[in-house]
Chains A and B, each alone.
Chain A
Amino acid sequence: MNSVFKALSDPTRRQILQLLRKRAMSAGELAEHFALSKSTLSAHFAVLREADLVDSDKSGTTITYRLKLSVLEDALLSFAETVGVGLPAEPRLRKATGKAR
């Protein structure tokens, strides 16, 4: 359970999970949504895989990621998103008061 909390505590990893909620995506498709280096994103994917929150499927050079959240983990993700866990204090406050973009 520790690895799940660790994985969900980071806003980028939560955003990855939110994107995977819509459909399975390749690493490249996910990377388009972030201004992060490949190695940083790979590290995030590794944390998510270790927590058993995503499933990866390699075909050729493409790795496709699928969501693998239990109901409890799904609820924790929504809670962490609502509260803004891991965000700096100011954006968290904005999010809580509904003034975020």
Chain B
Amino acid sequence: MIERKVFWIAWALVVAMLAAAAWRVLLLPDWTHLPRYDLNGAAISPTSSAVLLAMPGAVLFIMARLTWRARTASAPVESLRPWKKWASVVLVPISVILTLLQAFIIVRSLGLLSTMNMLPFSRGVFAILGLMAMVTNNALPKLPWLRSRVAFLNLDPDKGAKFLRLRAWQEVLIGLVVVLGGLFLPLKIMPPIVFSMVIASAIVSLAFCFSAKHGQPQ
């Protein structure tokens, strides 16, 4: 599912993020905690060093999901081609953005850029991630449905296309909420909003697959 060049670019960025995390941890007196600083540059309660694994973990999760989808697909090679293109459009920008975020976290933990106002920056990050979700998932229904070896996802082409449309609408709406919420709502309430929307969309998708499987002739 992932083009070779894109695969290696994403891997290189993951390795760079992990190397930077290891380097930062080695410099810490207590490797379990990452220092944080307030707007005046004074140290505040540290955060867990595990935060340094979140960005490479997210890239690896996306790569694993795309690879799993390709491995379980029972489709001719031509059907995989548009998916490979789409995966490249998704993976490269996300990997680059998450690598930049990782760099930002490490730089901040070193006490640099500590006077920078985090609110506009955080709102900008939400807006960019939301826009990315909207742009990449907008084209999802244009891709051919891949029959899956996983029985639950082995829908006929008509229902598969409907499922892709449903997923795309859900993801674009979540992206829109992330953009608007990130820009205009208090940021504290954004994680629970996004989390509940992701869970709700997963439940709706599962319900769709279930009803489609039971409604289609075998």
Please, which residues of chain A bring their CB within 8 A of the CB of B138? 70-72
Determine which of B137, B144, B157, B161 lies in contact with A71 in the assembled complex, contact meaning CB atoms within 8 Å. B137
Size bracket, chain A contacts: 10 to 19
Of B142, B157, B172, chain A has the most CB atoms within 10 Å of the CB of: B142
Q: Is A29 an interface residue (CB 8 A)?
A: no
Q: Is B158 an interface residue (CB 8 A)?
A: yes
Within 8 A of A (CB), among B137-187: 137-142, 144, 157-158, 161, 165, 168-169, 172
Is chain B's interface secondary structure helix, strand, loop, or mixed overall?
helix
Within 8 A of A (CB), among B50-105: none
Q: Is A49 an interface residue (CB 8 A)?
A: no
Q: Which residues from chain A sit less than 8 Å from chain B, CB to CB?
A: 23-24, 52, 55, 66-72, 74
Q: Provide a sorted-by-A list of 28 A–B residue pairs whose CB atoms are within 8 angstroms.
A: A23-B158, A24-B157, A24-B158, A24-B161, A52-B142, A55-B144, A66-B157, A67-B141, A67-B161, A68-B141, A68-B142, A69-B142, A69-B165, A70-B138, A70-B139, A70-B140, A70-B142, A70-B168, A71-B137, A71-B138, A71-B141, A71-B165, A71-B168, A71-B169, A72-B138, A74-B141, A74-B165, A74-B169
- Closest 6 A/B residue pairs (Cβ): A71-B172, A71-B138, A23-B158, A70-B138, A71-B168, A68-B142
List 14 extra interface pairs beyond A68-B141, A69-B142, CB under 8 A: A66-B157, A67-B141, A68-B142, A69-B141, A70-B139, A71-B137, A71-B138, A71-B140, A71-B165, A71-B168, A71-B169, A72-B138, A74-B141, A74-B169
Q: Which residues from chain B sit less than 8 Å from chain A, CB to CB?
A: 137-142, 144, 157-158, 161, 165, 168-169, 172
